[in-house]
Each structure stands twice: as structure tokens, then as C-alpha cells.
Chains A and B, each alone.
Chain A
Amino acid sequence: MRRFGTGLTRRAPHSTRRRRFSTLMAGVGAALLALSACSAPAPAQQDFASWDQVVADAQGQTVRLWMYGGEEQGNAYVDKTLIPAAARLGVTLQRVPVADTKDALNRVLTEVQAGTRDGTVDLVWVNGDNFGTGQQAGAWSCGWTDLLPNMGLTNPADPLLANDFGTPVDGCEAPWHKAQFTIAYNSATVTDPPHTLAGLLDWAQEHPGRFTYPAPPDFTGSVFTREVLNSVSGGYQNVPLQYDQKAFDRLTPALYSRLKELAPALWRQGKTYPKTSAELNALYAGGQVDFTMTYGPAELTKLVADGTYPAATQVLTLTEGTVGNASFLAMPATSGHQAGAMVVANLALSPEQQAAKADSRVWGQFTVLDTAKLDPAQRALFAKLPQSPVVPSYEVLSQNASPELSAAWVPALDDAWRRLVLTGR
């Protein structure tokens, strides 16, 4: 590099300036240290005396609902149905699309750490380990769902609403919809569909290359291994919901030996697995495998209608049932618009919104409301919903439904799958 010692460029060393600068830097450094060292104050938990007070406080608030943005119908439902309804109640609702619910949780965790009280995450569509992780970190506002008038339309004894993958809900999240793990198949190519999970695995072995499942820890692949665990254990009743090492050691050898035995008959001889459920769906859409699986059967109707999936797609109903769960709207403790968030959560629970959302042309999500508690007019809203040509009703799908194992089971099962099935061949 050329250097030119001309008057144009030369600078006398500004010792005073430099000293001032270093003093400034030291000051900034100390301030930063102090800021990051001070412990975060506990996030404020707003107390409301009555629902009327909540509604009054909510007027004019802007509520940001963070949700997984991969479901076009879900986005459209919120944009076209929920947001206008919230506006009529005086609450501005905004949808924030994220690729993964963990992104929303991470934002909340930084807000909790910073002791924020006017956070920008007011509601999160969440369940399972994201809810559990947030609960451990004290990220959620709790005990507020009792105030919601529409909570009275749910069944308090419903196990799906009381526990979220083994974590007690404790009024930290308001139920939004129910889902049932569903296996779909192409009835044009599978003429002899099995009716049990064990039968499905046998079918896969008899038809090499026509079946596979996403590799755990993918959410859907992970659910599938738990379904196989229930099956090889002789039913979900034999698998304790709470994780313990003894049960794991007793029950899982049968699971992994069955999956290892199955592997050579899978798509590409089980040498590789779809990394995500989206990849499995793409294989199914392209006719490379005959089965796919999803925790959101809601989307099947639309995917068949728009031609993504084969027209002959049918849901495989298993006699022993499948695992079901509910998903929720959680309110972060750092939210600065808790009244508005509660108004939206209550609105989302209303029979009108639940029925609109259950329409398979809108989103097709199953309701969390207890039909026994609805009045005839409200029940009629659900009765007049069109039957999906692909997905049977929730009553059929959720027959013999099993609850989700506690979140502690999941990493243990996923890890052993990777060691024993993926690399242990």
C-alpha cells in the first residue's frame, strides 16, 4: 500500500482527542456491563378485576399474533376473518408470519431477559415443547384464561386442554384448535389399506420403496416413532405418559428392532430419510411414496382440491386410534397489550370463529369447544359445515385417541432413533 506523507493527508496525533475518546469508551463499556449485569425485573402480571375491565382496557390496543406462516389457509383465515372481527371489538390485530414458532419464543425469551413490559409479542400460536420451554423460562402470562367468557364453552375435564404434551396448562394459554395425527394414502395405488399401525408396517415391508417417514427430530417423524412405540408396546395404555428411564429401557428395544427391520423396505432402502415432513409430503405429492402423515389433517382437503396431492387421497383410519393434541394461543408475560390479547383469545374461542375456522374450505381446524355446552343456534353453525371429501369428522378421527407422551420422552426417543436406526445399520 502506498502512503503519502503530504500535507493533504497527514494528521498530527490528537492526544487529547484520543484520551477523551478512550474515557468515553470506558464509560460506554461500564454502562453496558451495568446494563447486562442488572437482574431482569419480574415481568408484570396485569390483574383485571372483571371481563368488562379487560374489554375496556383493550380498546385501541394493537395485538401482534405470531404464528407459523406455512399454512396458507391459516394465514388467510386470520387475515380475512379473525382480524376484521377483532377490529369490530376495537382491537387492531396484526399477524406476524414466522418460519418456526421457536423464532417467536426466542424473541419472547430476550424480552423476558431484558425485563421488558411492553413487548411486541402479544399472542403466540403454540403447543408442545415450545410451550414447555417457555413455561420453564417463565415466558408466559398465567391464570388469565379463567376470565375469558368463552372458556365456559370448553370442557374443563378435557385432557387435551388440561395438559399440553405433559405440561399442565394452568391457564397460561387459551385453547385454539385440536389436531389428530393422521396418515393419508393414495387409494388409487394402495388397494388393500391396512387398519392398524402394525399392519401398515407389514404393508411397507411387502411393498418395498413405497413408504417412508421423516427422520426424527422432525416433529412429524418424531410423532410417527411414538405411534410405533405405542403399537409395539401393545397399545398406548402400556406406555407411561411421564418419562422414566426404566420404562424407556423396557419398551424401546422392541421399537427400534422393528424400525431397523423395516428400514431396508423403505423408500431408497432406508439409506436416507426425508429430513422434514414437507419433504415427505413432496414425495407423496409426486407419487414416489404411497403414504404421508401429518399432525394437521386440516390441510389435506385443500391439498387434494388444488391438485398438490393425488385426487384419490384418503385418510387411513386406524382401529387403535392415533395420538391427538390441542394447540393454543399463549400470551407472553412481557406483552404490553394483555387486555387486547385476551379479547382476541376470547374472540378466537367464540362459536362463530371456531365454526368458521372448522370449515374445510377456510382452514378445517377442529374445534376445542364442547358441543354439549353450546346452545342450538351455536350447534347449528357446526352442523351445517360441509363434509370434507377427504378428511372424516373429528369424532371418527379421534376415536380411541391417545394423549401425547410428556415432552421428556421426545428427545430420548429421537436420540436413540438416530443412534440405532439411522447410523446403526
Chain B
Amino acid sequence: MALTLPPEFSTPLSWPDQPGNGLRTSQGITRVLRIMLALALALWFLLPLVPLVLWAFADRWSFPAVLPQAWGWEGARAALAQGAIPAFGHSLLLGLLVSAIATPLGVLAARALAYHRVLFAPAVNVMLFAPLALPAFVAALGLNVLLLRLHVPPFAGVVLLLTVYALPYTSYVMRVAYGAHDLAVEEEARLLGASPWQVMWRVQLPLLAPALARAAFLAFLVGWSDYVITVLVGGGTIVTVPLLVAGAAAGTGNDATVALLSAAALLPPLVLLLGVGLLGRRPSGKPTAKSMNGNLP
């Protein structure tokens, strides 16, 4: 919880972003430095995108020209000709499926580890993180033999393996969220007569929404950006954007196509990130001074 509890009841409560809270207000040189740091960070993130966008619409750009000599849609034409639209559809489907499976699993694992007695909890923790240490290539080569023998359909195999690779992210994010989650709030709702479902939908879910959105976003990225597992386990039955990008990037003279596909591939995660940012706000809006002071004697 972002709320800092005052030492005694007589001290009036104040929210960090309320005017007059000295903790968050920087002045003079500190303020200038803070703004400059923020600008530098923004530049740091945006700068690499500039050549990407320039390349995407450059029909000709050869050394040592600073800017492209010819602008056009050659990159877009080539990307469309190579099946960019179905590939985006497949990638979106894969990302959403992985997210839809790995997020609830991460929630269950994190909740169990946070609140329940779990046998060999440290070992379970290590297991949950293990996929991060195992190169995807090794896992795909080894496990695909097993998946083939079990006659798991290629697409199901891809979703299954990518879900495992997304689990460390979702369970970690949710673990942190449950660590900061105050169960007393849920108990209070129960005491006030809420059913377990109501507690889940009206209390737990809104409180955990920002973390859930973050976890789902990370899981989406795992499905969205994978190459190795999609190729080896998918067996060519599903051609995603990373396959197109990697294939085109391996050749010469495809810079515009690669740049356009990469820049376009940034858009869906960016849209989702904005969504996460919106969800990440306090669900109930800013509390008023009245509601905060209402229960004071």
C-alpha cells in the first residue's frame, strides 16, 4: 500500500501527491536535475527507434548519407508480400494465449507460496525460476522429442512450452504483489458479510489489478517475441512475426523490411503497456480528505 501510516491519530493524514507533502517535492537544483534525468531517460528509450523508423520508410539509404536518399513504401510492400498480416495475427494469438494461461497459473503459484504451507517451498521457488536458466533452444530440442511421442499437436506444444517460459515472470510479479497485499482487507470484507466470490471480485481483484496487468503483459511478451520454440516445436505450422523478422534479417538488402516489421512489432506491446499503465492506477481514484478523516474520533 502506498499509504504511510501516521504515528498517531492526531496527525492529519496526507497523500504523497497532495500539495504540501514535503517528501515528494523537490526544489531548486534537485528539481532541475530530476527533470533532466527524466528527459535523458526518455531520450535513451526513444533514440534507438529513430533509425528504425527512418529505415522502415527508406527505399534507399547508403553510406555516408545522413538521411535516406529515397523515401517510400518498399519495406511495407515487401513485408506484406511475405505474409506480415497473417504473421501478426498468429503472433497476437500466441501472445494472448500464453498470457491467458501463464497469468492465472502465476497467480495460483504465488498465492500458494505467499499464504499457504507449501512442501519444499524453496525447491518450488527454484523450479518456478528454472526456465529462466535453461536456454530455450535446449528445452525445445529436448522436449520436442517428448511432445512428438505424446502426439501433442504442434501449436499446443508451442503454447505449453512458452507458458512454462512465461511462468517465472508471472509468478514473480504476483509473488511481490501478494507480499504487499494486506489480507486483513479481505478478512474485513468477509466480516462485513461478503461471500468468497465477492471478496475475490470486489476486493482482491481490484487491489491486485496493477500486478495482474504487469504479469499478463510480461507473459504476452514471451509469446510475442519467441523464435526458437515457435520454429522447433511449431514445426512451421505457425509462422509468426519473429520468424519473418529473423528470416529477413539474415539476408542482405532487407533493411527496410526488417525495420518496418520490427517497428510494427513494437506497437501491440506499446498499446498493451499503455493499458497496463491505466490499470496500474489506484482503482478507486484519489481519496478525499473527508473520507480519510471520516473515521477519526
Please list the residues of chain A having a beta carbon within 8 angstroms of any beta carbon in chain B: 1-4, 6, 8-9, 11, 13, 18, 32, 35-36, 64, 66, 68-72, 75-76, 79, 94, 96-100, 103, 106-107, 109-111, 113-116, 119-121, 277-278, 281-282, 285-288, 299, 302-303, 306-308
Q: Does B34 have its Cβ within 8 Å of any Cβ on chain A? A: no
Of chain A, the residue at the smallest CB distance from B119 is A18
Given contacts A36-B149, A97-B239, 18 further A-B contacts (CB under 8 A): A2-B182, A6-B187, A11-B116, A35-B149, A36-B146, A64-B237, A69-B243, A70-B254, A96-B239, A99-B246, A103-B231, A107-B232, A110-B141, A110-B232, A115-B149, A120-B236, A306-B60, A308-B60
Q: Does B248 have its Cβ within 8 Å of any Cβ on chain A? A: yes
Chain B residues closer than 8 Å to A287, beta-carbon distance: 62-64
B242-269 interface (Cβ within 8 A of A): 243-244, 246-254, 257
Chain A residues closer than 8 Å to B145, beta-carbon distance: 36, 110, 113-114
Query: Roughly how many angstroms separate A111 CA and B244 CA in the complex, as a whole number?
Result: 23
Q: Closest approach, in angstroms, between the C-beta of A123 and any C-beta of chain B?
A: 11
Of chain A, the residue at the smallest CB distance from B60 is A307
Query: Roughly how many angstroms separate A110 CA and B144 CA in the complex, as a whole number?
Result: 6
Contact: B183 with A8, CB < 8 Å? yes
Chain B residues closer than 8 Å to A79, beta-carbon distance: 81-83
Contact: B183 with A70, CB < 8 Å? no
B100-129 interface (Cβ within 8 A of A): 114-117, 119
Contact: A121 with B235, CB < 8 Å? yes
Contact: B62 with A278, CB < 8 Å? no
Contact: B187 with A281, CB < 8 Å? no
Contact: B183 with A64, CB < 8 Å? no
User: Contacts A11-B117, A69-B250 known; A110 to B243 CB distance under 8 Å?
Assistant: no
Chain B residues closer than 8 Å to A120, beta-carbon distance: 154, 235-237
Of chain B, the residue at the smallest CB distance from A100 is B250
Chain B residues closer than 8 Å to A307, beta-carbon distance: 59-60, 62, 69-70
Chain A residues closer than 8 Å to B246, beta-carbon distance: 69, 98-99
Of chain B, the residue at the smallest CB distance from A120 is B235
User: Contacts A35-B146, A303-B252, A303-B253 known; A3 to B247 CB distance under 8 Å?
Assistant: no
Q: Closest approach, in angstroms, between the C-beta of A310 and any C-beta of chain B?
A: 8
Contact: B252 with A70, CB < 8 Å? yes
Q: Does B150 have its Cβ within 8 Å of any Cβ on chain A? A: yes
Contact: A97 with B64, CB < 8 Å? no
Of chain B, the residue at the smallest CB distance from A308 is B253
Chain A residues closer than 8 Å to B67, beta-carbon distance: none
Contact: B237 with A4, CB < 8 Å? no
User: Contacts A97-B244, A287-B62 known; A4 to B183 CB distance under 8 Å?
Assistant: yes
Q: Does B78 have its Cβ within 8 Å of any Cβ on chain A? A: yes
Contact: A8 with B190, CB < 8 Å? yes
B146-164 Cβ-contact flags toward A at 8 Å (1 or 0) = 1011100010000000000
User: Contacts A70-B254, A288-B63 known; A98 to B243 CB distance under 8 Å?
Assistant: yes
Contact: B252 with A281, CB < 8 Å? yes
B224-240 Cβ-contact flags toward A at 8 Å (1 or 0) = 00010001100111010
With an 8 Å Cβ cutoff, the count of chain B residues facing the other chain is 51
Chain B residues closer than 8 Å to A71, beta-carbon distance: 251
Of chain B, the residue at the smallest CB distance from A76 is B81
Query: Roughly how many angstroms separate A64 CA and B54 CA in the complex, as a whole number?
Result: 35
Chain A residues closer than 8 Å to B252, beta-carbon distance: 70, 277-278, 281-282, 285, 299, 303, 308
Chain B residues closer than 8 Å to A308, beta-carbon distance: 60, 62, 252-253
Q: Closest approach, in angstroms, between the C-beta of A283 and any C-beta of chain B?
A: 8
Contact: A75 with B82, CB < 8 Å? yes
Contact: A2 with B146, CB < 8 Å? no
Of chain A, the residue at the smallest CB distance from B182 is A2
Chain B residues closer than 8 Å to A1, beta-carbon distance: 114, 179
Q: Closest approach, in angstroms, between the C-beta of B192 and any C-beta of chain A?
A: 13
Query: Roughly how many angstroms separate A111 CA and B149 CA in the complex, as a whole number?
Result: 9
Contact: B247 with A99, CB < 8 Å? yes
Query: Roughly how many angstroms separate A282 CA and B237 CA in the complex, as a whole number?
Result: 33
Q: Closest approach, in angstroms, between the C-beta of B291 and any C-beta of chain A?
A: 25
Query: Roughly how many angstroms separate A13 CA and B118 CA in the complex, as a whole number?
Result: 10
User: Contacts A1-B114, A4-B115 known; A69 to B247 CB distance under 8 Å?
Assistant: yes
Pairs A–B under 8 Å by Cβ, sample size 22: A35-B149, A64-B236, A66-B236, A70-B247, A70-B249, A70-B251, A72-B251, A75-B82, A75-B247, A76-B81, A99-B227, A99-B247, A99-B249, A107-B144, A110-B232, A111-B148, A114-B145, A114-B146, A278-B252, A281-B253, A285-B63, A307-B70
Chain B residues closer than 8 Å to A299, beta-carbon distance: 252-253
Query: Roughly how many angstroms separate A64 CA and B238 CA in the complex, as a whole number?
Result: 11
Q: Which of B69, B119, B251 has the most CB of A within 10 A?
A: B251
Contact of B150 among A2, A35, A69 (CB under 8 A): A35
Chain B residues closer than 8 Å to A13, beta-carbon distance: 117
Of chain B, the residue at the smallest CB distance from A9 is B115
Chain A residues closer than 8 Å to B144, beta-carbon distance: 107, 110, 114
Chain A residues closer than 8 Å to B184, beta-carbon distance: 4
Query: Roughly how many angstroms separate A150 CA and B235 CA in the complex, as a whole number?
Result: 29
Contact of A97 among B74, B148, B247 (CB under 8 A): B247
Query: Roughly how many angstroms separate A120 CA and B115 CA in the complex, as a whole number?
Result: 45
Q: Closest approach, in angstroms, between the C-beta of A167 and any C-beta of chain B?
A: 23
Chain B residues closer than 8 Å to A69, beta-carbon distance: 82, 243-244, 246-248, 250-251
